[in-house]
Structure 1
């Protein structure tokens, strides 16, 4: 169950950032806008948009905010359709690998800022657009386990592409390949009428961790916060392991 244990560490960090709700919702809005721009404003015919909406709903983004973001695209708001996605990777703090997912309407600003952040912490950037081998892309779905019987949920999950399943701490945790995410979530929706997902997204999980000291842990968290406070940065992933956490 290594995927679940690594996700638990990742989730702990994500939830710590949820206090910045306004900033978080702005980032979700950008993802929704980009997905709607590329594939159309109807989530039933746009898998990427359906995924972006599911991710936003899992973090309690209000329905009105979601509809407002989609309406910008449907209404032809030119300022809403200029975002481009970029991936940056790099190393810092003695071999910790970082993956930074970005959406921006100003590449020069983004590029300059990312270089500055890594240089400031004696880091080294990798090739833009490449995903380091220490990360696996994975679909993660998590919801309260009082929704249905464990055997029923497990059977539906495994029949629709799940690669791992666990019931722990009051929740079901399910992983899958990214290509199976939409089918799996739809099957869970149809069979169990789930109203509140704790997590529903395609994300990156480290497959090779670097153990760090308490001192470095604080430095890494400060670095991640610096990156996440940038308006062009959507998410930050790393493979640091905190043994004292």
Structure 2
């Protein structure tokens, strides 16, 4: 997506940082449980579940953990409250718009913790729709590329129906309509393209312009939110 290179770089760095965090398996397990609860435990039928399980495998999450999370989602394993996926909208320092995706077994706890972290940093939670209009929902596929194969991969993506693409060093970000994500991902896999991530995402329609001090405060806020076990993804317009 032209004009979003900075955003994509931040997202890629965030993914790399998340993989190092001790709580990554907790977050992935919760996301797996949510997907299994929504669409069942069969990876061949439940595309959302397959995407999260692929991500978990890439992060070297143990097979037993993955299977337990699926069973918890389908109800085969009774070990606590059901995990729910809940989105919160907020403004951070410098009026940075945020969509905060959570997976939680206790929404009261999560909303309290998220609101507290926002308030402490000078941000605030806002009503649903207050910042949502600043983003559009897309499918996002991240693939590994080189100078030798990028043209071929771009052609496969275009032929499959990709809307836009953007290269960031050795990664190509492919953007799709949400309903085309599965079809395009499967077409890339059929052509032996190395996919590092695939998910539904939110792209900003306009960028925030915080000053240096506000930007630092925002980055600190983002880090504190990422350290919360219930927060699984943050989309922003920085």
Shorter chain as normaliser: what TM range?
0.7 to 0.9
Contact 2:35–2:73 (CA<8 Å) still a contact in 1? no
Q: Distance in 2 between matches of 1:130 and 1:81?
A: 30
Q: Distance in 2 between matches of 1:177 and 1:53?
A: 22
Select between 172-181 and 67-76 the one with higher mean Cα deviation.
Answer: 67-76
Could you say what secondary structure the match of 2:87 adopts?
A: strand
- TM-superposed CA distance for 1:165, in Å, is 2.6
Question: What is the 5 A alignment of 1:177-188?
Answer: 177-188=177-188
Distance 1:225 1:150, change over 3 A: closer
- In structure 1, the partner of 2:165 is 165
- TM-superposed CA distance for 1:82, in Å, is 0.4
Q: Which of 209, 212, 235 is the matching residue for 1:211?
A: 209
Contact 2:92–2:122 (CA<8 Å) still a contact in 1? yes
Question: What is the 5 A alignment of 1:111-150?
Answer: 111-128=111-128, 132-146=132-146, 149-150=149-150
TM-score (norm 2): 0.86
- TM-superposed CA distance for 1:148, in Å, is 7.4
TM-score (norm 1): 0.84
Q: Distance in 2 between matches of 1:228 and 1:7?
A: 17
- In structure 1, the partner of 2:20 is 19
- In structure 2, the partner of 1:237 is 235
Q: Distance in 2 between matches of 1:72 and 1:111?
A: 23
- TM-superposed CA distance for 1:62, in Å, is 4.8
Contact 1:102–1:234 (CA<8 Å) still a contact in 2? yes
Contact 2:94–2:209 (CA<8 Å) still a contact in 1? no
- RMSD of Structure 2 on Structure 1 (CA): 2.6
- In structure 2, the partner of 1:243 is none
Contact 1:32–1:69 (CA<8 Å) still a contact in 2? yes
Q: Distance in 2 between matches of 1:33 and 1:17?
A: 19
Could you say what secondary structure the match of 1:53 adopts?
A: helix
Select between 128-137 and 176-185 the one with higher mean Cα deviation.
Answer: 128-137
Contact 1:165–1:173 (CA<8 Å) still a contact in 2? yes
- TM-superposed CA distance for 1:31, in Å, is 0.8
Select between 75-84 and 31-40 the one with higher mean Cα deviation.
Answer: 75-84
Count residues with an aligned counterpart.
237
* Greater than 6 Å deviation, 4+ residue runs: none
Contact 1:86–1:128 (CA<8 Å) still a contact in 2? no
Contact 1:73–1:80 (CA<8 Å) still a contact in 2? no
- In structure 1, the partner of 2:196 is 198
Contact 2:98–2:131 (CA<8 Å) still a contact in 1? no
